[in-house]
A and B are shown apart, each in its own frame.
Chain A
Amino acid sequence: NAGVMQNPRHLVRRRGQEARLRCSPMKGHSHVYWYRQLPEEGLKFMVYLQKENIIDESGMPKERFSAEFPKEGPSILRIQQVVRGDSAAYFCASSQQGQPNSPLHFGNGTRLTVT
């Protein structure tokens, strides 16, 4: 499967635990984006990364959230000390370039539920 791979598909965490969401971009794509989607809403941008670099994290909450895209391996979105308000679908997308004509290709998302 050459598409964007996200895992796990569903993740349940208790309040205060850590959540780790993984994303492997499409082959040949070096630009990775993370979005959050709440029920009945559109996608909200969180962070944009290229290999080993955070390019734009203007949508990331200042605390508890972090993201990385190491030289080897998938991109990781990490949420520490989760709260109920973190429950959402988290989508990863990748593109071949960062230019306006380069579409994003999405993974199937990770549905995070905080109990």
Chain B
Amino acid sequence: AQKITQTQPGMFVQEKEAVTLDCTYDTSDPSYGLFWYKQPSSGEMIFLIYQGSYDQQNATEGRYSLNFQKARKSANLVISASQLGDSAMYFCAMREAPSGGSYIPTFGRGTSLIVHP
């Protein structure tokens, strides 16, 4: 079964508008971390934001915020005031340790975001 599901292969947004990228996850581990990464066309992976499973408030980092709904096992990324430079692939990832093993991060297949001027 998929640990991380990103159902939107591609998204389009107008510059200066907000956009939400979906991510759902599957785990039975009570302690886990959720991350979002950005991969521009140049190929590097850029860490954006982190949400812990025990965090009471949604994480925010500048124009990025994470809409964390624990009961629904969703961790959607919200980008406010989109900029042309936000055009990239976005990956959702989770660190969990099933059966007391190592916290290995697992990645979704990604969502391609294109920001139109």
Partners in one complex: yes
Judged by DSSP, the binding face of B is strand
Closest Cβ neighbor of B110 among chain A residues: A42
* Contact in complex: A33, B107 (CB < 8 Å): no
Smallest CB gap from B32: residue in A: A100
**How does the 8 Å CB contact mask read for A28-40 relative to B, with 1 for contact and 0 for none?**
0000010100000
Q: How many residues of A contact B (CB 8 A)?
A: 27
A42 touches B91 (CB 8 A): yes
Interface centre among B93, B95, B97, B108 (most CB of A within 10 A): B95
* Contacts beyond the supplied A99-B95, A101-B52, A106-B45: 9 A-B pairs with Cβ under 8 Å: A41-B110, A55-B102, A56-B101, A100-B31, A100-B103, A101-B50, A106-B37, A106-B44, A109-B44
A positions within 8 Å CB-CB of B:
33, 35, 41-45, 48, 55-56, 58, 89, 91, 93, 98-109, 111
